[in-house]
Structure 1
Amino acid sequence: MNFPLVTTSWLETNLNLAQLILVDVSMSKMVGKKAIEYEMPLYIPNSRRLDLETALCDLNSSQTHAFPTEEQFTAVAQKLGVNSESIVVFYDNQGIYSAPRAWWIFQVMGFQNVFVLDGGLPQWLLENRRVVPNTSNIEAKVGNINGIFHPQRICNSNFIFEQMNNKQLAVLDARSRERFLGIAPEPRSGVRSGHIPDSVSLPYPEVLNEYCFKTDEQLTAIFSALLGNKTSTLVFSCGSGITACIILLSAVIAGYKDLILYDGSWTDWGSNVALPVGS
């Protein structure tokens, strides 16, 4: 295990580990690259299924893909059987797409022993490892984990607006460069085109090598080229807070520590005409 990732070989070796909780958090739609389509559902053995867009989103919020409440997280994690000694591994059927979002939610809620399967289901299949057509039907014993929300790990538009002159903070945008530049339309109605002023474009496919993350050396080089050595705090944004977590996790791999997710991301910022748009 090499935080925050586990390899397919590690997972196959440890599939029957008592502490392991393996969770498929695949989403039905993808933005930013062509989705991998399957003729039928496929899962890694012993997987449990979690609908990230309902179970771990605050549906009472007007924000798209809003972060879950502490109580909501606790109920979901306990239902999965999560205890203090559990090892939670998330994966998705696109390689790396939605699993980092689930990983960051667990991190923000104070559960540290959580990982992402590097390469997800596509890498698993590429290596001819065994799959099953259904998720595990074993009823998990209710866990005893209690979420403790760490608010400093996510932010809203007010925080970014107030910090716009802070040279020690950088906002990185995971959307395509065309959307960042405002030459491609936003997929959601009522959202302006463009980007947060002074933010930096880092389309999430650029931190990936096929289905997996690039090496830590490659990622370090990418961030160094974009940011230099002066920035101490990184804020991550995208369309609605999903793919921002991909580049956030890549920053963890590259060794960065002070990381914040702008949960509302461009859907929030671009919908507010009172907020400036970068040129």
Structure 2
Amino acid sequence: MSYPLVTTDWLETNLNLEQLILVDASMSKVVGKKAIEYEMPLYIPNSRRLDLERSLCDPNSSQTHAFPTEEQFTAVAQRLGINSESIVVFYDNQGIYSAPRAWWIFQVMGFKNVFVLDGGLPQWLLENRRVVPNTSNIETEVGNINGIFNPQLICDSNFIFEQMNNKQLAVLDARSRDRFLGIAPEPRDGVRSGHIPNSISLPYSEVLDGHCFKIDEQLAAIFSARLDSKTSTLVFTCGSGITACIILLSAVIAGYRDLILYDGSWSDWGSNIALPVGN
């Protein structure tokens, strides 16, 4: 994977680049932090809008925020005007929240020329850069992108259950420490409190500095302090597979490469009484 972030300076300089597809992937519901609220919608100029919660979640799955199918991904990405040679940049209105999820979906579907705007809309506004009240009204031609799903980049509960005692694999949980310990209630009905046995707590707030990611060296230190030197594969989980992508992206920044998303995350594991809960 190439370096996954672009800066606000880079984006402002390249806003009118022909190959650039800039996409707002904000979500309406924010969990795990106090949401940044806006009096009116604001967008970076030339933005296109992606409804991540509806357009890129499989509606036929019982799983919360289930990964889209190849066909679903291809249809949505083509409607956004994305071609094989496009440069896609995602951002969201919380700084770093849902944009990493969109980035990982594109990675899993085989499109690598995709990036996240470090700091998102809040950092853009903090630097007094220009915003607009609507997304781009430019008529978008249908793109030619085709998704090719890589199943090795996501996993389910069966995989984690089988690998729980594998010392070369670590499961990192992006939820708050209190939810991990089971002393804070889960936001979804029917989901037990606690965590996957042998998993490691890494609240996503710990990899952020204000609206942006911490620098590479700081992130590398965060991971090395939690991981055994023999660990080669990292699996990421959270409540429903959204904020897990924040710490997954931070692992890429820190230099890790063998990375997997547990897409069902705790909403899947915690609702299955046949699966154990860690102490």
TM class by shorter-chain length?
Answer: over 0.9
Equivalent residue, structure 2, for 1:259? 259
Q: Does 1:6 align with 2:6?
A: yes
Counterpart of 1:253 in structure 2: which amino acid?
A: I
CA distance in 2, matches of 1:217, 1:229: 17
Structure 2, unaligned stretches of length 5 or more?
A: none
Counterpart of 1:80 in structure 2: which amino acid?
A: L
Equivalent residue, structure 2, for 1:149? 149
Equivalent residue, structure 2, for 1:240? 240
Equivalent residue, structure 1, for 2:133? 133
Equivalent residue, structure 2, for 1:101? 101
CA distance in 2, matches of 1:91, 1:214: 17
Equivalent residue, structure 1, for 2:165? 165
TM-score normalised by L of structure 2 = 0.99
Cα RMSD for the two superposed structures: 0.6
Q: Percent identity?
A: 87
CA distance in 2, matches of 1:230, 1:220: 15
CA distance in 2, matches of 1:158, 1:21: 37
CA distance in 1, matches of 2:30, 2:158: 28
Quote the offset at 1:3 in angstroms: 1.8
Equivalent residue, structure 2, for 1:51? 51
Equivalent residue, structure 1, for 2:277? 277
Equivalent residue, structure 2, for 1:208? 208
Structure 1, unaligned stretches of length 5 or more?
A: none
TM-score normalised by L of structure 1 = 0.99
Q: How does 1:19-38 map to 2 (within 5 A)?
A: 19-38=19-38
CA distance in 2, matches of 1:99, 1:59: 20
User: What is the aligned residue count?
Assistant: 278
Quote the offset at 1:60 in angstroms: 1.0
1:166-221 residue CA offsets vs partner (Å, 9 max, x unmatched): 11000000000000000000000000000000000000000000000000000000
Extract structure 1 runs of 4+ deviating beyond 6 A. none
Q: What SS does the corresponding residue of 1:251 show, helix, strand or coil?
A: helix
Quote the offset at 1:230 in angstroms: 1.5
Q: What SS does the corresponding residue of 1:235 show, helix, strand or coil?
A: strand
Quote the offset at 1:228 in angstroms: 3.5
Counterpart of 1:124 in structure 2: which amino acid?
A: W
Q: How does 1:173-252 map to 2 (within 5 A)?
A: 173-252=173-252
CA distance in 2, matches of 1:211, 1:234: 25
Equivalent residue, structure 2, for 1:68? 68
